[in-house]
Amino acid sequence: MDAIVVISTAARLRDSVLQQAGDKIKKLYTEQAQTLPDTSFSTSNGRLPCKKIFFIPAPKLSKSADKWVFRTIVSEAIQLIVNEKTIIIRPIVFPAVGCGLNGCDATFVAETLMRAVSYELEQRPNLPLSVYFVIQSKETIVFNKFEEQLKLIKSPPRSSTRLPVVPRKPPRKDTGPAFERRILEPSSNIFKEVLQIFQSSMSNQSYKEVISIENIRNKRWYRQYLAERDDFNDRLKQNTEKRLFHGCSEKAADSIMKEFFNRGFAGANGTAYGQGCYFSSNASYSHKYATPNNKGERRMFLARVLVGKTTKGNSSMKICPLGFDSTTDGSHIFVIYRDSQAFGEYLITYR
């Protein structure tokens, strides 16, 4: 393997790996963990037959952990690979997270981890990565569950065109809150990724600082979006999801997080390309509609949007033209007409 993933908050696994890696890596890990607590980081291999060791914390990992805990582990690991500039990482290996002392359901873990990996690779089609899971030989039940999920992922659908695999709701009950706003740590890889996407199309003259980035967790909204995405994938035989910006006022942002992107407000910021909900791949454009509050703070969503089959829009379009899923200016603006076509995954507060 080029890289191995270690859950740094899983003491038994972490200590075993550090013992095999040697004193130099032990010291390096201790220094990094003290400097960057609760943050993912990588070290060299020490005595282990790999190139890198990825240490990823999962403080909320437990028997009742929801899918977000496992998806974050995968996302953090992939992001470490993307950020790696000194060496090339091709094969990477994960442990069967949670299947040891935590006693997590093996079916739930296998499905969640493998679908999370498939989803991350789908979002980065140019990343030639091979992903492995290592399972103790005595854990035959765990092995069988992972093997079952692998067969499901590798089995093509009935149609001749293979669809990309996306994460779906796991079969176990999610006991987390129905709605939650999670403030991301500036040192986390997810925060850095969202910030980079924002800064890549945002003029430096338009803002002074990013105050916070929040991960929006709305179960009802997310489930509706996943159902819509499944329908799009089945119908179009391709993934048309884009990550786009939507600027708005603080009051509108609070409403959107609870009641989704409501096209009932269409026209508030123009209808040049249709009377729907507007998104843009250009943060500087969306900035125009991110009206400041009395503190000078602005709000902008980085959303997942299903653009589907799109066509040039105009101001007379109250609904999407027959045979199409969205309208566009032909460049960076996309207009949707169904509330479930977008999911506001992150809220950026800046000034």
Q: Residue 53, Cβ neighbours under 10 Å: how many?
A: 22
Last residue of a domain, one of 154, 171, 203: 154
Q: What is the mean pLDDT of residues 75-99?
A: 88
Same domain? For 259 and 224 the reply is yes
pLDDT of residue 127: 81
User: Going edge to edge, which strands form the sheet with 342-350?
Assistant: 179-183, 210-218, 342-350, 298-306, 241-248, 277-280, 333-336, 326-328, 310-312
Among 77-81, 238-242, 261-265, 268-272, which is the least confidently predicted range? 261-265
Residue 169 binned pLDDT confidence (cut-offs 50, 70, 90): very low
pLDDT, average across residues 158-185: 61
User: Is 244 or 83 the better-scoring residue by pLDDT?
Assistant: 244
What secondary structure letter does DSSP report for 112? H
**CA-based angle 86:88:89, to the nearest 5?**
120
pLDDT classification of 165: cutoffs 50, 70, 90 = very low
Does 160 fall in a domain? no
DSSP states along 292-332: --TTS-EEEEEEEEE--SEEE--TT-SSPPTT-SEEE-SSS
Asked if residue 166 belongs to a domain, the reply is no
Task: Give the domain CATH number at 321.
Answer: 3.90.228.10
Split at pLDDT 50, 70, 90, the class of 258 is confident
Q: Does residue 117 have a pLDDT over 70?
A: yes
Whether the predicted pLDDT of 233 surpasses 60 = yes
Q: Residue range 80-94: average pLDDT?
A: 87
Strand partners, 134: 95
Please tell me which residue, 34 or 157, carries the higher pLDDT value: 34
Taking only the tens place, the pLDDT of each residue in 3-38 is: 999 999 888 899 999 999 999 999 999 998 888 777
pLDDT, tens digit (0-9, with 9 covering 90-100), for 179-230: 999 999 999 989 999 999 999 999 888 999 999 999 999 988 988 899 889 8
* Same domain assignment for residues 82 and 183: no
Same domain, 143 and 200: no
Predicted pLDDT of residue 155? 64
Mark whether 196 and 143 lie in a shared domain.
no
Same domain, 16 and 122: yes
pLDDT given at position 247: 95
Do residues 208 and 268 both lie within one domain?
yes
Mean pLDDT along residues 310-325: 89
**pLDDT at residue 263, as a whole number:** 63
What integer pLDDT is reported at residue 267 of this predicted model? 53
Answer whether residue 82 shows pLDDT above 50.
Answer: yes
Residues 88 and 12 reside in one and the same domain: yes
In a domain, 167, yes or no: no
The whole-angstrom separation of Cα 7 and Cα 41 is 11
Give the pLDDT band of residue 171 (cuts 50, 70, 90).
very low
Determine the average pLDDT of the residues in 319-344.
Answer: 92
Is residue 171 included in any domain, yes or no? no
- Kindly state whether residues 85 and 220 are assigned to the same domain: no
Residue 248 lies in a domain: yes
Mean pLDDT of 76-93: 86
Whether 199 is in a domain gets the answer yes
Q: Which of 63-72, 96-105, 147-156, 211-220 has the lowest mean pLDDT?
A: 147-156
Q: How many domains is the chain built from?
A: 2
Which of the four pLDDT bands, split at 50, 70 and 90, describes residue 316? confident
Mean pLDDT of the chain: 87
Question: Is 342 within the bounds of a domain?
Answer: yes
What pLDDT shows up at residue 184? 95
Looking at the predicted structure, is the pLDDT value of residue 176 above 80? no
Query: Is the pLDDT assigned to residue 163 strictly greater than 50?
Result: no
Cα separations in angstroms, 323 against 146, 159, 320, 326, 327: 40, 21, 8, 10, 11
Q: Please tell me whether residues 294 and 254 are part of one structural domain.
A: yes
What CATH number is attached to the domain comprising 118? 3.40.220.10
* 134 shares its domain with 209: no
Residue 47 in any domain: the answer is: yes
Q: Determine the pLDDT at residue 161.
A: 40
Domain that holds residue 60: 3-154
Q: Examine the pLDDT at 168 and tell me if it is beyond 50.
A: no
Asked whether residue 214 falls in the same domain as residue 256, the answer is yes
Do residues 116 and 70 touch, judged by C-beta distance below 8 A?
A: yes
Across residues 108-125, what is the average pLDDT? 85
Q: Which helix (H) or strand (E) holds 181?
A: strand 179-183
Output the six-digit token pair for 79: 């992001």
Same-domain pairing of 199 and 338: yes
